Structure 1
Amino acid sequence: MSPIAPLGTAMSPQTPSVRISTPDLMAVISAGLLMYRMRSGPEILLAHYGGPYWIKKDKGAWGIPKGQAESGEKSLEDLLQVAKREFEEETSFEPRGDFEYLTTIERSDGKKVHVWVFEGDADLSKFKSNTIVMEWPPRSGRKIEIPEVDKGAFFRLEEAKEKIIPYQLGILATFEEWIKKKVV
């Protein structure tokens, strides 16, 4: 049985940014990668959101590298490619390893995020994100270019729970259960 329902049903993918339509649902689909490394315990790579809104925030200002799918990217295989592409765009690191589907979470606005997990490591001194254009200040009509994320860091699980944006806490809870089974 598939871990998610087919696209076009109420349980549509959350992470990649693909708009799908059903009689009463429009959802954005995103996909992301949770990279971890083992030290004395698992450490998770999180990315700090870029731009003026997030610059002085720390708690709740981090997340896994992820992004929206294009309209033709609908299958789990497509979404894994979206997750890999977005990871590389946001970190400059090419994700390599064995990717295992971890979970799908749904935000309160209906956006869904599909997440894969893999073990890896990175030299964070080489961390570099792509840039995006945003309006700042809000409703000003002024556009600025910012890094999508401005830094990355590895965190032990308990610290990651403090840093991560609240809607992604379910990803960490699922990872915590997953890693317990893997390490045993």
Structure 2
Amino acid sequence: MTPSRERRSAGLLLFRRTDAGLEVLLGHMGGPFFAKRDAGAWTVPKGEYEPDEPAWDAARREFQEELGLPPPDGEALPLGEVRQTGGKIVTVWAIEADLDPATVVPGTFRMEWPPRSARTQEFPELDRVRWLPVDRAREVVVKAQTAFLDRLAEHSA
């Protein structure tokens, strides 16, 4: 029996320091499942990768695919990994950088919608991107990803 491959994802969490405190750049997941949700519908820009691709390379590639912008240069702070509820293992690096969310051109995905309609529709990977104070980000980010916010806050203290 062949062991099942664990799903892995990698991403970059941008952060900036403002007069009001630390802010992080998160994306709201696109598509019909998350359209009317806020809590648990925001994520670090990330994506899946194959076992033969280094996680760091995948994080940079996925940033470009998800946001349509090159990943920023800067010192990458490893925030480690977490296992999300669905079992996916997510690895994230933080980079201090500024980015105007208005410049984002999100990648898209296609899916059958409505279900069993035989119609395929295209949706943005992320339907909006926003800078959020860390405390607000904790309220809306995918639950397991709050660990990345905690690790970043510890490092930035």
Specify the alignment match of 2:152 in structure 1.
Answer: 175
The amino acid across from 1:63 in the alignment is T
Match of 2:128 among 144, 148, 151: 151
d(CA) in 2 for partners of 1:49, 1:70:
22
Count of residues in Structure 1 that have an aligned counterpart in Structure 2: 155
Specify the alignment match of 1:91 in structure 2.
Answer: 67
Specify the alignment match of 1:5 in structure 2.
Answer: none
Alignment of 1:51-66 (within 5 A): 51-66=31-46
**Deviating 4+ runs (over 4 angstroms):** none
C-alpha displacement of 1:108: 2.9
TM-score, reference length from structure 2: 0.90
Q: Secondary structure at the match of 1:58?
A: coil
In structure 2, runs of 5+ residues without a counterpart are: none
The amino acid across from 2:36 in the alignment is K
d(CA) in 2 for partners of 1:22, 1:107:
23
Specify the alignment match of 1:81 in structure 2.
Answer: 57
d(CA) in 1 for partners of 2:17, 2:69:
18
In structure 1, runs of 5+ residues without a counterpart are: 1-20
Specify the alignment match of 2:77 in structure 1.
Answer: 100
TM-score, reference length from structure 1: 0.77
C-alpha displacement of 1:175: 1.6
The amino acid across from 2:65 in the alignment is E
d(CA) in 1 for partners of 2:115, 2:125:
17
C-alpha displacement of 1:103: 1.3
